[in-house]
Structures are given as C-alpha cells and as structure tokens.
Structure 1
C-alpha cells in the first residue's frame, strides 16, 4: 500500500495509517533526515501542536529519535522520566518508541510514537515495526525522490517563465512588486526586501520591502560588509543563516526573524543590490532555496538594470532638446566599453548613429569554453524611441545568454520575448553568431540584416543567411550556418545603414562597394577594415547626413593564411 503512490504527503499519511494497525497511538511523527546538516525535522505528525512541529529540529544522537538514527536500530523507552537526554517536545509524554527508516544501509528518517502512560509500548511493537520499517523506508524514499525531481522541474519552468516576464517590465516600482510576487511562488518567505547599492555612498538602500505580505518602508541604509545583506554584497555570494540569533553579523530590523537568506544582484560583474528573504522559523531556508534564488537573482539584476535604463532614457526624452547629449552617452554605455580579447581572433566594431541617438546595437556575450556570442542589430525607427527599444532588446538578449543558446535558438527566444510584449510598429533585425576560439568555428543566424561577408582563400563569399525580423511574427524559424575557419579568414557583419548611405546625387553606397573594399583589404587587420569601410561611406556621402544608423563588426582569425599553390 505504501509503494502504490509517488506523492510524498500521501505516502506519509499511508505509513501513519499502517502503523496505527499495529499500535493505536495518540502522538505520532515521521521525521526526515537532512543528510548534509544531520538534522531530523518533522515532515508528518499527529498530536503535535503546529508551532511545536514546525520548531522541532533534532540532531542525530540527541533525544530518543536522534539515538535511533545514530544507533540505526529501534529505541524503546518505557518511561521517559528515567531516560537520559529525553527531549520534552510534547507535554505529559511518558513512553516513546522510535524506529529508524533505513534504505540501502542509509538512514533517511525516524518514525516516532509517544504515549501519555508509561510502559505503553512492548517488545512486540518494536519487533513488528522494525520488520515493516524497511518497506516503509523504500516507499518514503521513492516518494521523496519523485517529489524532489518534480519540484526541481517545476522550479526550472517557473524560473524560465519569471525570466521572460521580468525582462518585459520597464517600470521599477511595478518590477519590484512583481519580483516579490514571483519569488513567493518559489519560496514561502515571510519578510522580503530588495536593496540597491548606491554607487556614491556604497550603502545598500531599501527600495522595496514586505513584512507578512504588507508593504513597509525602511529607511535604514546598510554599508557593504555590515549585516547579512552587507556580507552578501561584499562577498558577492549568497549567505544562508539558519539561526540569526547565533550570527554576530545580523542587524536587528525584524525582531521575529529567525532565519535569513541574502543573495547579491550582480550585473555585468558588478554588485547592484541584494535580495533578502527572512522567516520566523529557524532553519527554514535550505540549499535548494539558495540555489534557486541565486539563479533567479541573475535574471532580476538584468531586469532591474533594464528598467532603470529604460526609465532614465524615458525621462531624458521629455526634455530631449536640452539633454540630447546625455541621452547619447547613455546609449553608448549599452555598447561594450572594451572589445573582447581572444587568443585566435581579432575583433573590431564601430557604431555611428544617424541622429544623436539611434537604434543600432552590437554586443559581445562571453560563453564558457572559450566561446563568444556576437550580436549586431538594427531596430526599426530612429532617435530616442529606437534607442529605448534597443535597450529593451539588449536586456532580453542578456537574460537568455546564461543558458548559452545557439544562434538560431537565441533569435527564436528573443522573438518570443518581444512577441509577449509587442510594441506597435517596433521590431529589430539581428545577426547572432557564436565563435568557438578553441575549434575556430563560427555559427551564424540572421533575422533580417544584410547578408554578412566571409572572405577566405582570396575569395569573397556572401553568407546566404536570411530571416524575418524579430517582434513581428510569433512563429518564425531561423537557419543556422556553420563555418570552420582558418588563419587569415575574415567575417564582416554590417547594418543596412552602410548599404543605404546616399551621396548628393541619391546614389546608394551599395553592397558591391562593401565587397570590393573587403576583398582588397583581406590581408589587413579587423580594425583597419572597419575604419576603411566607414571612411569610404563618409567620402561617398559627402555633405549628405546619414539617413540610418551605421554599424560594422569584423572578426578575423589570427595567423597568416597558408600560401596557395
């Protein structure tokens, strides 16, 4: 009967029913063992006051149940008044019987039964429950493993859903509230705070706080390194405290708090704040909670930075004439401040907006194992609206980057995210490529930018990668092209602002000129090629102002090409 279900709560209830057929108990508990901390905690109980059951936390070796776990055999106490080390959890108990749950020579928990009269339990009770204990242990362990696997799968799905939703919320106050709601779906906290780091004072400021589901305002700023949250910010690592009363770092803000979990918010390798969760129960937070919130914190940091940048640009747009120079500076800060340095690849990039701010973008995303994601994009429209949309796209790209998708997968993911919060008349064309520096391979996918150029063996080849722009159609698929490069091979990516540059006669610069320049400069550096393309476009346009943003990214494999015979 115990092994007929994989639901843990149902299994524990059936174990209790099975034991009752052997012993007519009044007080009963199943305690499961945390193998890492060697603590026994009540997972199912009958006859325990809830506040006592929630608080019970027994070390292996302590009390009757702890002894049963340590000795790996049943412990029968005829009268607890005569027992050394008895833990008085339930009032008026006189006798106790504890049966260890053992599977594959490993203790996973203890069944504990208590009675209010002495000598209630017999050696026959002990013998029978010991016999069926292993059977019950198998059922409980199977159900626990199933529950853990199901919970992990559900958590991963929820984290993915949260990541997609958060990157589309661009109002900070709304974002903070939504973060709190979504985290509560993962962890049943009682107190929750979002603290952001003030770069001037280097203090953590409470920007949002909940206490028993009620919004509160906390004006207490915390320096880095002080308190649990300050320690998380300073160490750049999650801090889990099972009992804050025993941690000298704890800053008393909520007197009811007993356990705390603080996780730093890190964006582009900088700490921008801390997520702080608290609970009135000791040992409430565990390693699973720590891993889950740490994973979520990466998405939260991106969403917060994205929303902060969006709000900043939106404020500047209201006084665009006066603050246009500042808006341009903000947009350029979205671009990489330093080009990536790889062992076998030269990287060069340049962006020139058609107005003070524009909608082109490029970025580089570090993958594991010497791989690099390369982004070049062109947002529809011009000026501040295009720059704001480019900021949104950049945030969405980086929110998907931690799972290191391939180019086609990344384009589909960004398209889905934009489709969930579609903005009328706005879309983006992107080329996404992944370079493997160890293998010297390049994967490329395109969603509407001009086809890139591949120069190798003295020939100029057009990469026939095409695709629909992102944010327009829900079900769009993208082809992926793979190349194994050799020393001297060159790839050039560019936005249509290069091709569409016009001179005074209305003549376009055109693809043919781009290919001719690349072909003649195949033996030059990536920097030289980018600079030469922009000089040629500028000379062609003459006094004509650029109509569209212009962006070029060039990558070249280091080393001299093999001489052709």
Structure 2
C-alpha cells in the first residue's frame, strides 16, 4: 500500500466485511464505502456467468446503477474482461480513445466514461470477478497510488467473496446431505426387516440384507405373501448408481407390489412389471431381477429369471450355479423371461445376490469373482438362512479389506427347513 495514504477507513471496512454473511449486502457495502476513498463518480463489481463466461454487473453504485443492473459484458470484452483475463490491474486514462473500453455500457446508460480503473478479484490463481471504478472526481485520471489502493482493496473483496461462497457451498452441501440422508431413510424403510418365522413358513427359512455403496442404493429386495401359503421373494439390481438408480429402484418396488396378484406365476408377474417399467422410460434405465414364489408348506420353489446373476444352489456341502436366462426389465416390452424350478431338499440353500458381491474389489483392484463365491460356499452346512447371508457378507468384507466399496451388495438366502 502507498505509505502516504490514509487507510483507516479501509481497515475499518476490512473488519466489517469479515463479519458479513450476505453476498449482495457485502458487495453493496463495499461499493458504497469505497466511493469516498477512491473519490470517483461510480463503481461496480462484475461476476462471471458460470455457463457463458460473460461478465454480469452484480452490484453497482452511482447515478447509472439502475441501468447497469441488466448489463452483460461478453467474455474477454471491455476493461473488466481485460483485467479478468490478465489477472492484473488495468488503468485507462482516456476512455474515448481506448478501443478496449466496452462503449455499449455508456450507450445503454447515457453515462460518459472518461477514465476507469479495474482490478481482478483474485482468490489464489482463480479470478472470482472484477471491481471497477469510473471517473475520478477533481482530477482527470487515476494515479499509480490509486492502482495500488485498488489492488489492495480488490484483495479484501476477493477474500470476503471467497469466504461467503465457501460458506454458501458448505450450507448447500449440508442441505444436500440432509436430503440424501432422508432419501436413504425412506428407501431403507421400503426394505422388509421382518422375515417369516417358522410358524408362518414351516418349510422355508428366508433372510436378506442390503449394504449400499452410496447414500441411495440401486439394489432392491422384497418379500411378501402373494396369497396364503405362497411367499413371493425378489432381488433386483438397477443399472447405474446414485439418485436416479435409487428412484428407479423405489418405482420398481412399488410397481411390483401393484402388479403381483394371487394366482399369477413368476413369469406373468415379470411380464406385467416389465410392461410398466417400459412406459415413458426416457432415461433407459433397466433392472435385472430374480422373482420367485415359494410354497411355505411344501418347500416348492418356482423362479422367474430376468437377466440377473445366476443364483447359487448349496446342497450337502456342494455349491453350483443355477441356469442364467431372461432379459433385464425396462427396455423392451416384448422380451421373454426364463423359468427355473430348483429341487430343494431339507437343508439346501438358494442364494440370490447382486453383482456387488462378485465384482467387489480388494486393495489391489482384484475382483471377488463368481468362482470365489462358489469356493467359499462349498463345505458350508448352515443351520439358518441368516447364517448364510452373514457368512458371505463377512467373506466379501474380508476380501475387500480397506478398499472402498464400488457397488451395492444385496444377499438373499432361502433355506429349505
């Protein structure tokens, strides 16, 4: 700063702006208070349009301020554009003869710009905008001392602007996180937490769990009695991740409950669900699915296959994959689905899962793989469906170690009592 200047007012303002939390109020305070120090007729602050890069007058002070409110300076144009692109203070002593001056501003306002001084608002290497002063009062042009003052002043403005933007961004992130947490709670609330007890299901023991990689999951599982003695169970995996997949998952579960009717087979339910999911599916999302109906008294099971990972049949310590068939739901209303009728003896387990299991990564980027899943299940003689789910979940967690989870994991085990 120039040693012979009086900066008491400027230093006082520095304290004021450090406590300001409203962006518009802050900028107007800066402009209003800066006029007496700079002894100018007008001043303004330009902020860039994030989409086009054009400079917009966010705040202005002076006789022409109302007309300037709608002014848009094309990217790189005008003295403000020069200051922003060069990241340096730009001084113009004779605006009428300088071709860089954006003269459309004077035409729009009736103002006559004689001299001007513009300084970039620098936050490190990032230029947040430009502050500009017009027409010094009582003198014909700006001085070197004015340049130094403006450069220091611009630093204060940039610091305040950066701080408020960071605060606003933090508030937005917090609000988004609250929304995501609520979405997660609502989505988790859709998942069944109570599984049929022995009295409800004498021949079938069933348990499931979902571990989401993101706040909102694209996996789903569901189970409900479609009619007395007939338990419908479902595992699905929506394409993609995040909010869109989570919304499609919730819609799929809702439509499933709507189309599943007593007397329908798994293939008929899948066909009806697919027709509904294909309606107005402009995002082209889809879901792979296995839908089964178990007779809880006899232990008989019928499955409809919709392009999902092959389930694993665990019997007497052996483990093998079931057939793969069908196609994903949501893309083509005319696709056909495959039927599979596993023969379950007492103690046999049917394990259905999503690809978050077989595609889980360890710290070195290695996949868990389908063959590893078979390997860990061989020799397993579980006493409950919950034991199977917890065992496989633990094996995947041990394999992954400290690696970040890349996909949702859903496991459902159906054990013949």
TM class by shorter chain equals: 0.5 to 0.7
Aligned-partner Cα distance in 2 for 1:425–1:543: 34
**1:26-76 CA distances to partner (integer Å, 9 max, x unpaired)?**
xxxxxxxxxxxxxxxxxxxxxxxxxxxxxxxxxxxxxxxxxxxxxxxxxxx
Aligned-partner Cα distance in 1 for 2:290–2:174: 32
Question: 1:111-122 counterparts in 2 under 5 A?
Answer: none
TM-score, L = length of structure 2: 0.56
Aligned-partner Cα distance in 1 for 2:318–2:361: 27
Kept after mapping to 1: 8 A contact 2:318/2:379: no
What does residue 390 of structure 2 align with? 531
Q: Given the alignment, which residue of 149, 167, 186 partners 1:330? A: 186
**1:261-281 CA distances to partner (integer Å, 9 max, x unpaired)?**
xxxxxxxxxxxxxxxxxxxxx
SS state at 2:216 partner: coil
SS state at 2:227 partner: coil
Question: 1:173-192 counterparts in 2 under 5 A?
Answer: none
**1:390-411 CA distances to partner (integer Å, 9 max, x unpaired)?**
1100011000123442111111
Change in CA separation of 1:318 and 1:334 when aligned onto 2, cut-off 3 Å: farther
SS state at 1:398 partner: helix
What does residue 554 of structure 1 align with? 413
Gaps of 5+ in 2: 1-171
1:419 and 2:278 correspond: yes
Give the Å deviation of 1:425.
3.0
**1:443-471 CA distances to partner (integer Å, 9 max, x unpaired)?**
11221221001122443231103221101
SS state at 2:313 partner: strand
Kept after mapping to 2: 8 A contact 1:445/1:465: no
Aligned-partner Cα distance in 2 for 1:423–1:353: 25
Kept after mapping to 1: 8 A contact 2:266/2:293: yes
TM-score, L = length of structure 1: 0.41
Aligned-partner Cα distance in 2 for 1:530–1:493: 10
Kept after mapping to 1: 8 A contact 2:318/2:377: no
1:452 and 2:308 correspond: no
How many residues were matched structurally?
243
Aligned-partner Cα distance in 1 for 2:297–2:175: 49
1:354 and 2:213 correspond: yes
1:321 and 2:321 correspond: no
Aligned-partner Cα distance in 1 for 2:300–2:174: 46
Aligned-partner Cα distance in 2 for 1:514–1:524: 19
Q: Given the alignment, which residue of 469, 473, 485 partners 2:328? A: 469
Gaps of 5+ in 1: 1-315, 559-565
Aligned-partner Cα distance in 2 for 1:321–1:377: 26
What does residue 241 of structure 2 align with? 382
Aligned-partner Cα distance in 1 for 2:254–2:174: 23
Q: Higher relative contact order at CA 8 Å, sep ≥6: structure 1 or structure 2? A: 2
Change in CA separation of 1:319 and 1:409 when aligned onto 2, cut-off 3 Å: farther
Kept after mapping to 2: 8 A contact 1:440/1:484: no
Kept after mapping to 2: 8 A contact 1:348/1:555: yes
Kept after mapping to 1: 8 A contact 2:203/2:298: no
1:366 and 2:250 correspond: no
Aligned-partner Cα distance in 2 for 1:338–1:438: 19
Aligned-partner Cα distance in 1 for 2:295–2:238: 27
Aligned-partner Cα distance in 1 for 2:174–2:364: 36
SS state at 1:513 partner: helix
Change in CA separation of 1:368 and 1:403 when aligned onto 2, cut-off 3 Å: closer
What does residue 275 of structure 1 align with? none
RMSD, aligned CA = 1.9
Give the Å deviation of 1:517.
2.1
Aligned-partner Cα distance in 2 for 1:319–1:471: 32
1:492 and 2:351 correspond: yes
Kept after mapping to 1: 8 A contact 2:270/2:291: yes
SS state at 1:374 partner: strand
Change in CA separation of 1:451 and 1:321 when aligned onto 2, cut-off 3 Å: same
Kept after mapping to 2: 8 A contact 1:453/1:493: yes
What does residue 195 of structure 2 align with? 339
What does residue 276 of structure 1 align with? none
Kept after mapping to 1: 8 A contact 2:236/2:290: yes
Give the Å deviation of 1:383.
1.6
Question: 1:111-510 counterparts in 2 under 5 A?
Answer: 319-341=175-197, 342-510=201-369
Kept after mapping to 2: 8 A contact 1:378/1:429: yes
